[in-house]
Chain A
Amino acid sequence: MLASLNARALVLSLVLLAVFLGLWEAASPKQQLAGELTEYELLMGGAEPKAAVPPPSDVIAKAWEELSNPFYDAGPNDKGIGIQIGYSLYRVLSGYFLAAAIAIPVGFLIGMSPLMYKALDPFIQVLRPISPLAWMPLALFVIQDSQASAIFVIFICSIWPMLINTAFGVAGVRKDWVNVARTHELGPLKTAWIVILPAAAPTILTGMRISIGIAWLVIVAAEMLVGGTGIGYYVWNEWNNLDLTSVVFSILMIGVVGMLLDTAFAYCARLVQYQE
C-alpha cells in the first residue's frame, strides 16, 4: 500500500459522505409542478409547498448564506449564527470555569483527606445523578434571571466529573512520589504544586474534558427553556418558524462547535500527559 493509513481513511470518509448526501438528496420529495397535476389535485391543495426534511443542497446553500454573514443582528428574533453560538459559548464557558474553580480545589481536599472524602461522599452521590435541567425551576425562582439560571445549570452539570476525577487523581498519586516530597521536606503547598498537581493533571484534564462535553450537551436544552438567545433557542425558534433547513444547519453547527471544544481539551490533556 502506497497511501498512508490517514490518507486512505480520508478517502473512505469522503466516499461515505458523498454516498450519504446522495441518498439524502434522492430521498427528498420533489415539489411537483402545478402543470403536471390534475384539476382534482389542484383543488385539494397539491400545489401548496409541502413541509419536508430539506435536501442537502438546500442545507449547504443555507449554510453558505449564514456563514458568509454570521454576525448580523436584525432584532431579537433574527440574529446571525455567530452571535447565537457566541451567546451559548459565553454561558457554557462561564458556568464551566466557575465549576472548575470550585471542583478542582474541593476535589484536592477530598482526594487528600479520607475524612473529607467520607463526609462529602453522600452529598456527591445524591446530587450527581440529578438531571441538570431539574434545577432550572429552582434556579429561575432563586436567581430570578434566566441568563444567570442557564449559567447555573451549566455550572451544576459540569462540576461533578471534574470534582470526582480530581479527587480520584489526587488520591491515586503514587506513594513513591509522595514520599519523594516528604523526604525532601516540601511543605503542603509545594507538595501540591511540585508533586500532586502534575501527577494528577492527566486525570483532572480527563474530568474537564468530560465536563465540557456534558456542558455543551446541556446548553442546547437549557436555552430551549430559557429562550432569548443562544444556539438552543435558535433551533427551537426555527422549528417554530417551520424553517427545517435552518434547523438541520444549526444541528450541524452544534456538532462542529462541540467537536472543536473537545479537540481543544484533548490538546491541553496532551500537554500535561507524562509517561512513567
Chain B
Amino acid sequence: MSKPFLSLQNLTKRFQAPKGGEALTVFENVNLGIEKGEFVCIIGHSGCGKSTILNILAGLDEPTEGAVIMNGKEVSGPSLDRGIVFQNYSLLPWLSALKNVTFAVQARYKSWSKKQVHDHSMKYLEMVGLAGGAELRKPSQLSGGMRQRVSIARAFAIQPELLLLDEPFGALDALTRGSIQDELIRIWSGSDQTVFMITHDVDEAILLADRILLMTNGPYARVAESVQVDIPRPRERANIIHHSDYYDIRNHLVEFLATRSRALAGKQEEGTPSEPSIVRFGAHGVVSDPKDNRKPATSPVE
C-alpha cells in the first residue's frame, strides 16, 4: 500500500477548559488518507470540528495530538501549497478584485514580471466569469456570488497542491450557488487539484465529491464513515439525480445526519478502529464492514 498524498494521523484537538476543569475534546484520533487529485467533502453537524480540521490542514491551527503529512512532509504553519476559500470570502476590501488575485500570484511566483502576473490572474478571473471591467471593482461593489468567484479564482491561481474550501457557498442563494458549483467543477476537472471541502449541503456533496466523509457529533467527534461516490463524471445537476445510486447515497447521508451522527457520538472505547468504515453503493455492494479498512479508502474503481 502506497502512502496517500495527504494523511491525517491520530489527529486530536482539545481546548483547555478555564481554571482546571476537564479539557474539551472536540475530536479524537482522526485517521484519513486523501489521494492526489481527489475531491473530498466532509459533512457533519455544527460543532463537530470540521472547520478546526480544515484550519489544521491549512496550518492556521495546530492539533493537540497527531500530525498532518502532505507529500511526505509534516504540515506546520500556513503555506502557499495549500490554498483556502473561506465562507466569508476573505478578500481585502481596499483592493480591486484583480489586485486581490495579483498580490497572491505575485507572492506565489516571485520571479514573474508584472505582465505575467497580470495575465495569469486575468486568466483565472475570466474562468470564473469576471472580466470586462468587473475585475477593477472593489469587493464592496460586487455581489456575494461575484466575491466568492474572486476568492475561488485567487485560490486556483496560486495553483496550490491542496485546495481547502470552508463552506464556500454557505452564504449564497441557491441559484448563484448552482452556477458557481458548475464553475468550480469545471475548473477542477481541468486541473489535478486535490480538494478538501466542508459543506452542509448533501446534494452539493454528491454532485462534487469523489468521496464524502461523515463526522459524528462532538465532543469526541470522529470521522465515522467514508462514502464513496462512484457516479461517473462529468456530472450535471440535471441528470445526476437520475443515476441509480443517487438516492441511495442521498438517503444514506441524510439518515446519517438525522440519526447515526448522534447514535455514534461519544468517546470511543480503546481498541475500536479509528479509521472510517467505507461505504459503497451500486455494483460495489452496499456497506462494507470496518475490517476492509486495510484497503486504501480510495482504491481506484474499475
Contact = CB atoms under 8 A, between A and B. Distances in A.
B107 A180 contact: no
B231 interface: no
A59 interface: no
A241 interface: no
B88 A184 contact: no
B138 interface: yes
A46 interface: no
Interface in B68-85: 77-80, 82-84
Interface of B: 58-60, 77-80, 82-84, 86, 88, 90, 92-95, 103-104, 107-108, 138, 140, 158
Contacts of B83: 183
Majority secondary structure, A binding face: helix
Contact of B92 (A177, A272, A275): A177
Majority secondary structure, B binding face: loop
B301 to A, nearest CB: 33
Nearest to B94: A274
A185 B78 contact: yes
B234 to A, nearest CB: 30
Contacts of A276: 93, 140
Interface string A146-184: 000000000000000000000000000000110110111
Max count, chain B CB within 10 A of own CB: residue among A184, A194, A274: A184
A60 B105 CA distance: 62
Contacts of B78: 179, 182-183, 185
A195 B92 contact: yes
A206 to B, nearest CB: 16
Contact of B140 (A176, A194, A275): A275
Given A179-B84, A183-B59, A184-B80, 5 more contacts: A179-B78, A180-B92, A182-B77, A190-B107, A201-B94
A6 to B, nearest CB: 26
